[in-house]
Amino acid sequence: MTVDPYTPQSGDARIAVDHYDLTLDYKVRTNRLAATAEIRGRVTEGTRTFAFDLVGVRATKVKIAGDSRASFTQSDRKLKITLGRTLAAGESFTVTVTYAGAPRPRRTRWGTIGWEELEDGLLVASQPTGAPTWFPCNDVPSDKATYRIEIATDPLYTVVAGDLASRATRRGRRVWVFERDVPTATYLVTLQIGRYTQETMRLGNVRAELFYPKPLAARVHADFAPLAQMMSIYEQLFGAYPFDEYSVVVTEDDLEIPLEAQGMAIFGANHIDGRGGLERLVAHELAHQWFGNSVGVARWRDIWLNEGFACYAEWIWSEASGGPSAHAKALGHHARLAASPQDLLTGDPGPDLMFDDRIYKRGALTLHALRLTIGDGAFFALLRAWTDRHRGGTAVTGDFIALAEEVSGVPLEPLFRAWLDEHALPNLPPSALNDVAAPVTAALPTGLRQRR
């Protein structure tokens, strides 16, 4: 049953998952995975059958607690389970799947995604449908769950997968246990393995961990030095950081783009130049922890709620750190978009174009138009209310419009309709630059204020 029309082959509307408990054994050199997944959830309607997404690895055993008559079949995309009896809507289940194989990336219209071997290690980058390359799941963004991940691997490697609960050596293998108690979408669950140096830093009250190849130490230290100031500014403008810690992984390999995960960002060696040349990417990925990870999209058509917000956070950081103001950034990007094809809808771009850069920039411009319309006080109050009200959950564009009208007291349907639901690029509302700069400046630490 289709859950999201943008990814019609993913997910099953008949189930909602509460918790995944993954036990993995992985050999880096041969890329061999042996695993067990215990999945606890509920059926959302009366049914005797449901399915998990699973791609590229084979299930050898499926057990349903309390049901000795259950059976399973597996296709190239799905693990279908037939129960011995019909479950009533709301009734819970516990499924244990034993599976193994040589995981590999999944080929999609957005490129190859999911489990990917590096020169010496691996990364998982799942947006939007790559999670089934390494565990059976209900792979839709609306179905958030908690996780426990235990992985045994070669002792020379460091594993990064979220909040570390324990680490031990058993029979010559290093066993790592991670626990994720905050509800997380499947595409934001990740596994990173490499020969990494680990370093702890403080971002105000938030603990951060850096993982990087030792030869890149100087470049990493230079390029991530602004993280503490970014965190301070974002917390003042967006609300408290929504997770217990923040991890940054820098791979030895070059990557096409940086990647966000829950409480984590992954950068390639090519994104770290030691001169802050790609500082906007650092700001972008940190902002995703509020916009996209804590407050997630319930459906992929609303991807602008992730990417437009993170892009606008780049402009806010530029303004706050003494660079071009958000208004100047908006004017520049508006001019470039005006000269580009205007053939997509930001609020419903379609699956082929949902990661088009114009969604990022026009989404950010939508927020700037809103800021110019309702003023800074209401705008930043709205962002804090948004991250607070939907913390740990999911939302759609209509939720944001309703909250914007609630906070501002201004009818905003025409503004959002023009920016999100029409092809033609609207003009930015008129406003003086000073009218949209003061609250960001006022929120800055003293040192940054003096740089402006």
| Fold (topology level) of 196-289 | Zincin-like (3.30.2010)
| d(C-alpha 110, C-alpha 349), whole Å | 14
Residue ranges, comma separated, of all CATH 1.10.390.10 domains in the chain are 296-452
Q: Domain 15-113+126-187 class? A: mainly beta
Question: What is the reported pLDDT for 1?
Answer: 58
Average pLDDT, 10 consecutive residues per value, the chain (452 residues): 89 98 98 98 98 98 97 98 98 98 97 96 97 98 98 97 96 96 97 98 97 97 97 98 97 95 97 93 98 98 98 97 96 98 97 97 98 97 98 98 98 98 96 49 42 32
Q: 380 burial class (0-12, 13-18, 19+ CB within 10 angstroms)?
A: buried
Compute the Cα dihedral for 226, 230, 233, 239 and give only its sign.
Answer: negative
Q: Which is the CATH superfamily of the domain at 296-452?
A: Neutral Protease Domain 2 (1.10.390.10)
Question: What is the reported pLDDT for 443?
Answer: 46
Question: What is the reported pLDDT for 446?
Answer: 40
**pTM of the predicted model over 0.75:** yes
Cα diameter, the chain:
71
Three-state helix/strand/coil letters over the chain:
CCCCCCCCCCCCCCEEEEEEEEEEEEECCCCEEEEEEEEEEEECCCEEEEEEECCCCEEEEEEECCECCCEEEECCCEEEEEEEEEECCCCEEEEEEEEEECCCCEEECCEEEEEEEECCEEEEECCCCCHHHCCCECCCCCCCEEEEEEEEECCCCEEECCCEEEEEEECCEEEEEEEEEEEECHHHCCCEEECCEEEEEEECCEEEEEEECHHHHHHHHHHCCCHHHHHHHHHHHHCCCCCCEEEEEECCCCCCCCEEECCEEEECHHHCCCCCCCHHHHHHHHHCCCECCCEEECCHHHCHHHHHHHHHHHHHHHHHCCCCCHHHHHHHHHHHHHCCCCCCCCCCCCHHHCCCHHHHHHHHHHHHHHHHHHCHHHHHHHHHHHHHHCCCCEECHHHHHHHHHHHHCCCCHHHHHHHHCCCCCCCCCCCCHHHHCHHHHHCCCHHHHHHC
Residue ranges, comma separated, of all CATH 3.30.2010.30 domains in the chain are 196-289
Phi/psi of residue 256, nearest 5 degrees: -65, -45
| d(C-alpha 425, C-alpha 346), whole Å | 10
Q: What is the dihedral of CA 60, 64, 69, 72, to 10 degrees?
A: -40
